[in-house]
């Protein structure tokens, strides 16, 4: 993730462990992420999951250069979640709105695959 990330867009949902896994593998990785990668101003995305009892939660955090980049993706009502109808097949519940955060402190981790350049 680039240190120039300014805006983080956060969306949440929940469902069964199988449904969340299918959302991540069959929808986010194959449909959402390629679409996001094609957009100017999109920097990165992270998908987090957490199981609590019989319910599994999913949090999607996408990183953007600016709020204008977010608006180019989501429209003028950018607080509204962009959710395709197929998501109902994977998740039992999800937020209709998203939260936007400004990055206050970011940490760039060294790429462990590159040789040490000391």
Predicted local confidence at residue 3, as pLDDT: 47
Predicted local confidence at residue 118, as pLDDT: 45
CATH class of segment(s) 7-102: alpha beta
Q: Tell me the whole-structure pTM to 2 decimals.
A: 0.84
User: pLDDT digits over 42-54, tens only?
Assistant: 999 999 999 999 9
User: pLDDT digits over 22-39, tens only?
Assistant: 999 999 999 999 999 999
**Domain boundaries of the chain, sorted by first residue:** 7-102
- Concatenate the DSSP letters of all residues of 64-95 into one string: ES-HHHHHHHH-S-TTB----GGGGGT-SEE-
Query: Is it the case that residue 7 has pLDDT exceeding 60?
Result: yes
Predicted local confidence at residue 1, as pLDDT: 45
Dmax of the chain from CA atoms?
A: 51
- Using alpha carbons, list the distances in angstroms from residue 107 to 97, 103, 104: 27, 10, 10
């Amino acid at each position: 993730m680039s240190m120039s990330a300014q805006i983080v867009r956060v969306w949440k949902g929940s469902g069964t462990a199988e449904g969340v896994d299918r959302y991540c593998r069959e929808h986010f990785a194959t449909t959402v992420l390629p679409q996001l990668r094609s957009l100017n101003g999109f920097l990165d995305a992270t998908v987090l999951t957490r199981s609590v009892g019989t319910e599994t939660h999913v949090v999607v955090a996408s990183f953007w250069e600016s709020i204008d980049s977010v608006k180019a993706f989501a429209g003028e009502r950018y607080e509204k979640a962009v959710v395709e109808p197929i998501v109902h097949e994977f998740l039992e519940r999800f937020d209709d709105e998203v939260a936007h955060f400004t990055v206050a402190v970011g940490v760039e981790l060294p790429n462990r695959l590159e040789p040490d350049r000391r």
